[in-house]
Structure 1
């Protein structure tokens, strides 16, 4: 009986000593220069419309349909600019209006500096040349990002061929929630 108490005490003491030694001897984590170390990040991208053989000039939304799109993301306004990702999205119209309570753009970027995705939500879509959207989250280099996305019509040879300029202003939390 006494031997089992001594063994138990020795095991508890050894475990406590191991925890203390690991805390004292373990190296401190290195500070990374990731996007989390910066409070704000500004990006400028271009969404290129797909080039179809017979492009439709106008898309008509019906109350029982959804509009789904996929565009290339490029560094510059020309469709020959370097492709750095994709923009995918959908619009679910409400009744007889193109306005929706659920409009999402999902951006995926893969560059030497950034690799990850961003979710952008449009709560109120108008028919103007400039739209302000809300960044509601991200993954990878953009984990926990929040901010503003401004979408505007870029200059192009024709309205059907024009790219959209997407300006992102992102902020990152100081600490990752646990």
Structure 2
């Protein structure tokens, strides 16, 4: 009986020593110290290649139900620039829905640097040439980002050239140093 108790105590002591040694000698998880909490991107949303008359502007009618669009996202202003993703959106231009939570623009990326999407709330979208919109989240490489999206368009009504929208993203990643409770 005494030998069983001694064997049990030795086994428990060895198990405790192994756990302590593993805890002190195990390498720490790899932490990416070069990752920055902010990211700035400059992109272009290409317009459809339809011919328009000079001095006219394509504007959605005021009584339109919804504007649903699917555009190409490029890294440069020319339509031959490298495609890095797509821009899709759903906007209700009617006055009673101007502040609607449904007004969202999704930018999806598919490059070797970034894979995922950014969601931009477009409820303050105006008719001006520059709009500041709110980034409300993301997925993949952009998981949980917040920030600002500045959407601008040059005024080239004197030419037949279709001008892309320029979008600058200023993204802030969440503080990843906090432990997730659970």
What TM-score does the superposition give when structure 1 sets the normalisation length? 0.77
Once the 2 structures are TM-superposed, how far is the Cα of residue 4 of structure 1 from its aligned partner? 9.8
Against the structure 1 CA distance between its residues 57 and 155, is the aligned structure 2 distance closer, same or farther, given a 3 Å change threshold?
closer
CA distance in structure 2 between the aligned counterparts of 1:158 and 1:97, rounded to whole angstroms: 34
Q: Deviations over 1:114-166 (max 9, x none)?
A: 2221111123121110000011111222122111100000465447x220000
Flag structure 2 segments of 5+ consecutive residues without an equivalent.
none
Rounded to whole Å, the distance in 2 between the matches of 1:104 and 1:13 is 60
User: Where does residue 118 of structure 1 map in the other structure?
Assistant: 118
Maintained 8 Å contact 1:74/1:81: yes
Residue equivalent to 1:149: 149
| Distance in 1 of aligned mates of 2:119 and 2:2 | 63
RMSD, aligned α-carbons:
3.2
Shift of 1:98: 6.9
CA distance in 1 between partners of 2:40 and 2:21 (Å): 44
* 1:58 match: 59
Aligned length: 172
Distance in 2, matches of 1:4 and 1:31, equals: 46
Instruction: Name the counterpart of 1:41.
Output: 39
Asked if structure 2 preserves the Cα contact closer than 8 Å seen for 1:61 and 1:98, the reply is: no
**Which has the larger displacement, 65-74 or 16-25?**
16-25
Bigger mean CA offset, 9-18 vs 114-123: 9-18
Q: Distance in 1 between matches of 2:167 and 2:20?
A: 51
Determine the structure 2 residue equivalent to 1:91.
Answer: 91
- Checking the alignment, whether the CA contact within 8 Å between 2:75 and 2:83 is kept in structure 1 is yes
The alignment partner of 1:20 has SS state of helix
| Whole-angstrom CA distance in 2 between matches of 1:18 and 1:52 | 71
Give the direction of change, closer, same or farther, for the CA distance of 1:58–1:67 in structure 2 (3 Å limit).
same
TM-score (normalizing by structure 2): 0.76
Measured in 1, the distance between the counterparts of 2:74 and 2:66 equals 26
Deviating runs (4+, > 6 A) in structure 1?
1-12
